[in-house]
Amino acid sequence: MAHKTNVSQEVTDMAAIAKAMSHPVRIYILQTLSKLDACCYSGNIAEELGINRSALSLHLKELKYAGLIQGETEPPYIKYCINKENWAKAKELYSSLFNL
């Protein structure tokens, strides 16, 4: 049986964002994508990082699940970019957390 808590959806969302950003490779991916005005192919990121595509895929999946990035499929490639709308929401959430 699941226990119900009084944790708000905002707190749950902040935790999901924090979890997605909890690995140095993911921070690097976010930094790389945030510097670009356009989307970037995942293969380019793998080469730049020097990691294999399966490891990169797991990191991208976590970031996408948290809504921090979005992907566009152009077979056989997938392009990723920052989800600007969700980043605006994340900034709002964390500003309220730190009273900024």
pLDDT digits 0-9 by tens, 29-59: 999 888 877 778 787 888 888 888 889 989 9
Global pTM value: 0.82
pLDDT digits 0-9 by tens, 50-87: 888 889 989 999 999 999 999 888 788 888 999 999 99
70 in helix, strand or coil?
strand
CB-based contacts of 36: which residues, under 8 Å, 6+ apart? 81
Q: Looking at the predicted structure, is the pLDDT value of residue 2 above 70?
A: no
- State whether CATH 1.10.10.10 applies to domain 9-95: yes
* Beta strand spans in the chain (E): 40-41, 69-74, 77-82
Bigger pLDDT: 15 or 40?
Answer: 15
